[in-house]
Each structure stands twice: as C-alpha cells, then as structure tokens.
Structure 1
Amino acid sequence: MALLLGKGRYRARLAQSPQDVAAAQQLRTLAFGTDHTDQDAFDPVCAHILVEDMREGGQLVCCFRMLTMENGTEIARSYSAQYYDLSALQNFEGRMVEMGRFCIHPNWTDPDILRVAWGAMTAYVDQNGVEMLFGCSSFAGTETEDYLDAFAMLKHRHLAPKRWLPRVKAPNVFRFAARLRRKPDAKKAMLRMPPLLRTYLMMGGWVSDHAVVDRHMNTLHVFTGLEIGAIPPARKRLLRAVAG
C-alpha cells in the first residue's frame, strides 16, 4: 500500500488496484450526482489518491486524481485542454500535475478531510518534483447569477498572469472578467467560492478570465493554476507540516 499520509482518523494513499479505482469512480458518481458511472479515458493514465476514514472501517470519503506531465509541451493531453486553449502554458518548463475529479463524500463534512487531501497532494508534489499544479475548479450548477460576487472577486484579485492566461475554447462560456463591473462583496464572494478553489487562492493560485458552462456535469468551472514556487513560505510550511 503506497501510503501518502496518515493523520488522526484519516489516511491518504495511492490507489493500488482496479478495485481502488472503481471505488473512486463510485464515490465520484455519488458526489457529482451523475446517472451513470463517472469514468473516462483519463482514469487509466492518472494516479488516484484515496482518503479513507479509519474509524469507519476504511470508508472512502474523498478522492482525486493526478496526471503528471514533464513540462508544458504535454499540456494538450490534459483533461482541461478539452475546454480551454492552453497554448500559453506550452512554454512552462517545469514538471506539471493536473489535479482532477476532486470530491468529498456528501455525508462527511469534517474540514480535516480537505486538509488531509491537500497534505497528500503536497507529499505527491514534493516526491515528484512538481512545479505547477492545475485543474478545473467547479461551481455547482450553471446559473452565473448565483456567483457574481465570487466571479467579481476572481476578476479583481486572482486572474492568471498574462503569460499563462488560458484563452476561450469551449462553445459556452461566461466571460466574467470582461462583463462584470461590480465591486465584489468579499464576504458573499468567499461564501460562494468552492472550498477547493478557496484553498488554491489562499496559496497564491490564479484563474482563467472566463468560466466554462458545463451542462453535462451541471457545473461552471474556471481553469485554476498554482505555481509551487509562488506559494507563500508560511502556507508552504503549514502544508508540509500536514504532509509530514
């Protein structure tokens, strides 16, 4: 068993068998509310990380997958490249990992689960010499009106540097950076921000200037990037304390 992290009641490990991957797919199906098993062509080429509750007999409570690339020349094979023009990132010279299909069991609300998941991600990044983490961060539903303060906050504080900025590729997008003129209500914005995205942003992450309207998954999602070298030292110490 490739244990990445054990903290308190939770254990994070790499999937070791087809049965482990199937369990992750079942949790994703439950969490995303799809009417068919959540699986795709990316599953066989990803590392899958499972977070289990050891007080509940190893119940799977969180999972996500990691797709490793040697540098930006491989960015076109990422899941995100289906929805965003990522040609600017082809110039990134370091190792990259796409983090995807992140979900937590709907019956588990303990914030320690997210902490352990990020600790496991940190261990994976350190072990593999990763220099950029990226993926799609999803808002539930496809109604942009529900998240205007959150999108205004992303526009004002968290847009990608121009040298990495993803361009529009998907047919249905919400160009929040171009359209929104409002000043964000910070409290409302953070309340409506997905927890995973909130964590990315606290570490210095950035987003695309538009959201993709994904009716298949019933989500709005923004491309999210995080350069490992840009994580504030205090935040990095906290993550490594969890990962250690």
Structure 2
Amino acid sequence: RVGGLYSDTEFDLTRLRPYRSRMIELGRSCVHPDHRHGGAIMALWGALGEFMMRNDLDMMVGCASVSMRDGGHVAASLWHKLSKTHLAPIEMQVRARLPLPVDDLEHTLEVDPPALIKGYLRCGAKVLGAPAWDPDFNTADLPLLMRLADLPARYKRHFLGL
C-alpha cells in the first residue's frame, strides 16, 4: 500500500475515501508482442483476483482512455451514452481535475466503447464521472469502478474460483 493513486492526479477522489482500504487501482500494463494473446490477459486477471482475495480487497478503480485524435467528439459521445446506462451512484461520483469540455463537443455520435471499456462494462463496471483530458497521452480518461460483488457469476468462477 503506497498511499496514493494515479487516478487521484486526474480526478478528485474524495467521495471514494470511505472505500480506499478495500480498493486496488488498475492501470496500464505492457505485454511483449509475442505474448499478446488470451492467455496473457487471463493470467494477469487471475493473479489480480487472487491478490484481491488474499488481501480482502473488493473494488477496482482506474482510468480507461479514449483517443482524442478526433478532437474529443467520440469521447464526449461515449460519456453521454454511458452516463445514461452505467453511471455510478452519486455518492461515488468523482470530478475531473482537468475536465474534457464534453458539452462544447459533438456528443450525439453513435459510438461503441473501445474494447477495454466494453470488457469492463461486461464485468459490471460503473462510470464514476465525466472524462478528464490527459494532455500527456492526448486521451480522454473515463474514471471507472468495478466491484467484485457486481462481477457476473461466470467471471467470478473463472477468475476467482467462486
């Protein structure tokens, strides 16, 4: 436990303070091109689940990036779509420190979530608030939270042996 979260540099996580002792942060990972197949990601998720069970952790928080190559219109549209279907309860919502100006962007495009976000949503993830702009990577970062309690049964069996 290092005491800080990368997500806290992009979002005000004050509302998550009561949950911090039960939370782990997910971040970027690098896998050698020769090993970028289902087995590698399964091993990563399996080890993560084992670590969480061993340490009595039941929540995962992190940022999921959406490219800003189009100026942010896809990210704004995705936020507007997900805010209607996957928004966390108000008591868990966070605010971006450098907000993407979603209301100034086209936000009615028909968009599908990127694969990683789609996977998190299938696992029961909730969006914690509007996206932050990450100028270092030129991405819009959505804050996400996944609770083990919300994980569908088939994923619990597969990753946690429950």
Is contact 2:86-2:126 (8 Å) kept? yes
CA distance in structure 2 between the aligned counterparts of 1:107 and 1:151, rounded to whole angstroms: 34
Q: Give 3-state SS (helix, strand or coil) of 1:101's partner.
A: coil
1:198 aligns with 2:121: no
**TM-score, normalisation: structure 1:** 0.56
Could you say which residue in structure 1 is the equivalent of 2:97? 169
Aligned-CA RMSD value: 2.9
Name the aligned partner's letter for residue 138 of structure 2: N
The alpha-carbon deviation at position 106 of structure 1 amounts to 4.9
C-alpha distance after superposition, 1:104-157 (max 9, x if no partner):
445654233222221121111111110211111112345322445533432222
Alignment of 1:68-107 (within 5 A): 68=1, 77-92=4-19, 94-106=21-33
CA distance in structure 2 between the aligned counterparts of 1:174 and 1:123, rounded to whole angstroms: 39
The alignment of Structure 1 onto Structure 2 pairs a total of residues equal to: 161
CA distance in structure 1 between the aligned counterparts of 2:82 and 2:34, rounded to whole angstroms: 29
Select the structure with the greater relative contact order (CA < 8 A; seq sep ≥ 6): 2
CA distance in structure 1 between the aligned counterparts of 2:157 and 2:91, rounded to whole angstroms: 28
1:227 aligns with 2:159: no
CA distance in structure 1 between the aligned counterparts of 2:107 and 2:75, rounded to whole angstroms: 14
Is contact 1:137-1:194 (8 Å) kept? no
**TM-score, normalisation: structure 2:** 0.80
**Bigger strand fraction:** 1
Name the aligned partner's letter for residue 238 of structure 1: H
1:127 aligns with 2:54: yes
1:157 aligns with 2:85: yes
**Structure 2: which 5+ runs fail to align?**
none
Q: In percent, how many aligned pairs have the same letter?
A: 23
Quick check: which has more Rg, 1 or 2? 1
**Structure 1: which 5+ runs fail to align?**
1-67
Could you say which residue in structure 1 is the equivalent of 2:112? 189
Name the aligned partner's letter for residue 153 of structure 1: K
CA distance in structure 2 between the aligned counterparts of 1:179 and 1:239, rounded to whole angstroms: 39
Is contact 1:173-1:213 (8 Å) kept? yes
